[in-house]
Amino acid sequence: MHVVIAPDCFTGTLTAQQAAEAIASGWREAAPHDLLTLLPLSDGGPGFLEVLGAAFPQAETLASTVADPLGREVPAALTLVDLDGRRTAYLESAQAAGLHLLDADERNPAVTSTWGVGQLLDVALAAGATRIVVGLGGSATNDGGAGLLAALGAGPEGALARGGLALAELSDDALAGLHEVRQRFAGVELVLATDVDSPLLGLQGASAVFAPQKGASPELAQALEGALGRYAEVVRRTVPEPTDLLTGKPRRLDKEPGAGAAGGLGYALYLLGGTRVSGVEEVLRAVGFRDLAAAADLVVTGEGCFDWSSLQGKVVAGVAATALETATPSVVIAGQTLVGRREAMTLGLSGTYAVAETPAQLEAAMADPVGTLRARAVRVAATWSPSR
* Interval 249-265: pLDDT, tens: 788 999 999 999 999 99
Q: Which domains, ranges and CATH numbers included, belong to the chain?
A: 2-40+297-384 (3.40.50.10350), 48-280 (3.90.1510.10)
Long-range contacts: 232-238, Cβ < 8 Å, 24+? Answer: 232/144, 232/200, 232/201, 232/267, 234/170, 234/171, 234/172, 234/174, 234/175, 235/175, 235/178, 235/271, 237/172, 238/173, 238/175, 238/176, 238/178, 238/179
Whether the pTM exceeds 0.85: the reply is yes
pLDDT for position 388: 53
User: Which residues, 6 or more positions from 26, have their beta carbon under 8 angstroms from its beta carbon?
Assistant: 373, 374, 375, 376, 377, 378, 380, 381
* Interval 297-342: pLDDT, tens: 999 999 999 888 787 778 999 999 999 999 999 999 999 998 888 8
* Interval 92-113: pLDDT, tens: 999 999 999 999 999 999 999 9
